[in-house]
Chain A
Amino acid sequence: MVDLSVDLGFIRLSNPIFTASGTCGYGLEMIPFLELKKLGGVVVKGLYFEPRQGNPPPRLVETTAGLLNAIGLPGIGVEAFAREVLPQLHQQQATVIVNVCGNTDDEYERVVRYLDDHPGIAFYELNISCPNVKEGGQCPALDARATFRIVSRVKKATQRPIMTKLSPNVTDITIIARAAEEAGSDALSLVNTFLGLAVDVETGQPKLANVWGGLSGPAIKPLALRMVYQVVQTVKVPVVGIGGIVTGYDALEFLAVGAKAVEVGTANFVNPRVTLQIIDELQNFCQKKQLSRIEDYIGSFRPRREKQKT
């Protein structure tokens, strides 16, 4: 039996496979298809303090090997989550990671302060990178100072570890990553979706009501992988890789470049059991490679040395 457990420094998890925020609802919707306790972690849908309706439809467009969404973070708010959802997740023995959102710095703080009083949450993922909730795709993760400010504030407000989720829609993600680390983020997860646009050529209208949205799915995997690699080279805190993961081999690519764990997103829509298949594939891969622990594989990526140009 291969040891798939991974250490994020502040917590050891049974395996490196999480469901990504916004792709598994509040976790409970997945119960017909899988046992939540078999996952390394369940990152539940982004939570604001108050309930929200989200964006008007249409919210989704399928693109080549990808999905463009402008859902806009509809949600039940922290009170209903703590009262109705959290006890059920606890009963399922799920490792719960709550994705924390806010319209203001103050709201981020209120969300973690409220949730800190409720047991059954392993840590928080700080969502400073949703592209769909602010005009023009502006979000704190596009700016190093805003990132530093919010992460510092949340870090002071909570007893729990925080993992900051970064946006890929920046010129240099390592600058934002460093800001989050310096502000005290215990881990980083990346990437959120890439801003994208789809046009209905018949009508000349955008296909999404929100005009543009965030692209996810297999199409973004190489883009995400490059960024994860760069950030792993830059920071000391653990990095969790996200972006287009569908198979065990996709997950292994992220682990190879140094991600301690990965989140699986869009693939859950296609196959709600995909995370368990990925876990099996990791087991098989390690057995084949005669690795007793997945941690021996993490960071194994060795770029070839550039040949001397003549």
Chain B
Amino acid sequence: MSQLIEAVIKDKKSWGDYFFVTFQAPELAALAAPGQFVMVKVSPKGPPLLRRPFSLASADREEGTIAIFFQRVGLGTNLLSRYSPGEKISLIGPLGRGFSFEDLAFPGELLLIGGGRGIAPLYYLAQKLKERGLKVIIFYGGKTQSDLPLREALAKKKLADKLILATEDGSLGFKGLITDVLEQEVLSPLAKKAFVCGPEAMMKKVAELLRRWNLPGEFSLEAFMGCGFGVCWGCVRWIKRGQEYQLVRICQEGPVFSREDIKWSEEE
């Protein structure tokens, strides 16, 4: 059950246009799971009028904290980036259905594939997978070096058994798209499942590769949302339900969907 709370900002880290903000929110931390999100009121009185959705990038039950990781791209994220520790902000969460990983067991490798700010829910997922002693391979790509700010934390916290970085300009890791790397990397026969979040074009390409490799995958989809808790029906996408595609709410039935259920193009 989600809640509407006022949370105090506990910590804020930034790297250029990327921010990692931690909130004291024990009510949310107690319920949160990887892949879920929160709706944040970035200005108390607006504008913007509506809340903005952010994937959870972490949740710590003992500390009573949750965190989001975002890129400053528009009005909402710009305002959000200006908050300082100690300030209060209104949150609704945790919302949506997250990744399913409860049934996964060793041995086997799990591929976490994130593009840019799409690393956020995977950063949280990796923590949970490592707690379970699972083997995690993280693919983390961006346009340039500065788009991969969580690489150090991923390494420091040992959240990946193998961390593969890619930048389009070659400033760090492989030169090219993360999907190129994925194609070139020899897929281990132990690979079991992929978890993906990033730009639409990237996710579509990854979905194709997974289909070719006959590998299950879960994708965290992004959408503009009116409410985030299922009442406005604004964030829909064509998703397979039974034998047919239906317009399904990303906020309520998602944001995480299985690869084979997502309609990636008009032809499907």
| A contact set with B: CB distance below 8 Å | 22-25, 29-30, 32-33, 45, 53-54, 56-62, 64-67, 69, 71, 74, 217-218, 266, 268-273
Which residue of B47, B230, B246 is within 8 Å of A25 (Cβ)?
B230
CA distance A74 to B229 in the complex (A): 16
CA distance A65 to B252 in the complex (A): 25
Stretch of B101-109, B114-122, B125-133, B233-241 lying at the A interface: B233-241
Residues of chain B in range 1-59 having any CB-CB distance to chain A below 8 Å: 1-4, 41, 46-51
B68 at the interface (CB under 8 A from A): no
- B interface majority secondary structure: loop
User: Quick check: A29 and B236 within 8 Å, CB to CB?
Assistant: no
B201 at the interface (CB under 8 A from A): no
User: Quick check: B231 and A29 within 8 Å, CB to CB?
Assistant: yes
Cβ-closest 6 pairs across A and B = A60-B234, A269-B227, A25-B231, A29-B230, A32-B1, A53-B247
User: Quick check: A57 and B229 within 8 Å, CB to CB?
Assistant: no
Closest A residue to B237 by CB, please name it: A57
User: Quick check: A23 and B231 within 8 Å, CB to CB?
Assistant: yes
Residues on A with C-beta less than 8 A from B176 are: none
Residues on A with C-beta less than 8 A from B46 are: 65, 218, 270
| B contact set with A: CB distance below 8 Å | 1-4, 41, 46-51, 90, 92, 223-227, 229-237, 246-247, 252
Residues on B with C-beta less than 8 A from A266 are: 49
Residues on A with C-beta less than 8 A from B3 are: 32-33
CA distance A271 to B49 in the complex (A): 11
B238 to chain A, nearest CB (A): 8
User: Quick check: A32 and B233 within 8 Å, CB to CB?
Assistant: no
**With A23-B231, A54-B236, A67-B226 in contact, is A32–B2 under 8 Å at CB?**
yes
Can you list 27 A-B pairs with a CB-CB distance of less than 8 A?
A: A24-B231, A25-B230, A25-B231, A25-B233, A32-B1, A32-B2, A54-B236, A57-B247, A59-B235, A60-B224, A60-B226, A60-B232, A67-B226, A69-B226, A71-B232, A71-B234, A74-B236, A74-B247, A217-B49, A218-B46, A268-B227, A270-B41, A270-B46, A270-B49, A270-B50, A272-B4, A272-B227
CA distance A270 to B45 in the complex (A): 10
A232 to chain B, nearest CB (A): 28
A44 to chain B, nearest CB (A): 10
CA distance A142 to B215 in the complex (A): 54
Closest A residue to B227 by CB, please name it: A269
Q: Besides the contacts A45-B233, A69-B226, A268-B227, what 10 more A-B pairs have beta carbons closer than 8 Å?
A: A24-B231, A33-B229, A57-B237, A61-B224, A65-B47, A66-B49, A67-B49, A67-B226, A266-B49, A270-B46
**With A66-B49, A269-B226 in contact, is A23–B232 under 8 Å at CB?**
yes
B167 to chain A, nearest CB (A): 26
Residues on B with C-beta less than 8 A from A65 are: 46-47, 49
CA distance A217 to B47 in the complex (A): 12
CA distance A39 to B232 in the complex (A): 19
B231 to chain A, nearest CB (A): 4
Which residue of A24, A33, A58, A270 is within 8 Å of B51 (Cβ)?
A270
User: Quick check: A54 and B247 within 8 Å, CB to CB?
Assistant: yes
User: Quick check: A69 and B236 within 8 Å, CB to CB?
Assistant: no
CA distance A268 to B231 in the complex (A): 9
